[in-house]
């Protein structure tokens, strides 16, 4: 008699949290842009402060050539540091509107220091500013006002749920859905 096959180890049934899939999905794009992780992109406001983060965003990190590598692309940034630092440090490219470029240029040493502090080592040696318009944030839609009578009606259908916080959240969700469809629950 044959023995049943053992289940695969590490195999998980069911849905995965979206947050666990995102780093894996964006990793190739980040590597193409020179980022080893998304830390600089996601924590930009914490790194440079809210004032600079409002007008700037990191675009790319250009790493210097290694011995034996092909020539850098013609758009490669020219480092502004000494010769020895040129060989070992990368250039962070950030985008900002032209009117704000002078402020960013004045803050360059602080930005480089803050990014290196966040990364844990001095990998960034220069900053290059690309003047580009900052896209306007999309306006957030205001939530609809839910009719209190509709909310009470939905709450009546949830009377068998014992947890009050869960019941209130489900009632609000149900009323919002019903109001959006123009239907009664």
pLDDT tens figures, 71-104: 555 454 444 445 555 457 889 999 999 888 999 9
Identify whether residues 100 and 171 lie together within a single domain: no
pLDDT of residue 179: 75
Give a three-class secondary structure readout of 20-81.
HHHHHHHHHHHHHCCCCCCHHHHCHHHHHCHHHHHHCEEEEEECCCCCCCCCCCCCCCCCCC
Q: Number of folded domains in the chain?
A: 2
> Which stretches of the chain drop beneath a pLDDT of 50?
74, 76-81, 86
On whether residue 9 sits in a domain, the answer given is no
On whether residue 123 sits in a domain, the answer given is yes
Which structural domain, as residue segments, surrounds residue 106?
A: 21-66+76-131
Stated pTM of the model: 0.56
């Amino acid at each position: 008699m044959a023995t049943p096959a053992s289940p695969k180890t590490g195999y998980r049934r069911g849905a995965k949290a979206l947050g666990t899939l995102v780093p894996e999905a964006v990793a190739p794009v980040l590597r193409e842009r020179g980022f080893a992780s998304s830390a600089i992109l996601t924590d930009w406001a914490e790194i440079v402060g809210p004032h600079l983060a409002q007008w700037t965003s990191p675009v790319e990190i250009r790493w210097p050539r290694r011995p034996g590598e092909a020539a850098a692309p013609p758009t490669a940034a020219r480092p502004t540091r000494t010769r020895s630092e040129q060989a070992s440090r990368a250039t962070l490219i950030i985008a900002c509107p032209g009117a704000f470029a002078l402020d960013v240029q004045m803050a360059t040493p602080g930005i480089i220091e803050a990014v290196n502090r966040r990364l844990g080592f001095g990998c960034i040696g220069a900053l290059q500013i690309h003047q580009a318009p900052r896209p306007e944030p999309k306006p957030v839609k205001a939530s609809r006002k839910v009719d209190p009578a509709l909310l009470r009606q939905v709450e009546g259908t949830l009377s068998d749920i014992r947890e009050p916080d869960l019941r209130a959240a489900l009632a609000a969700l149900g009323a919002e859905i019903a109001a959006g469809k123009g239907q009664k629950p």
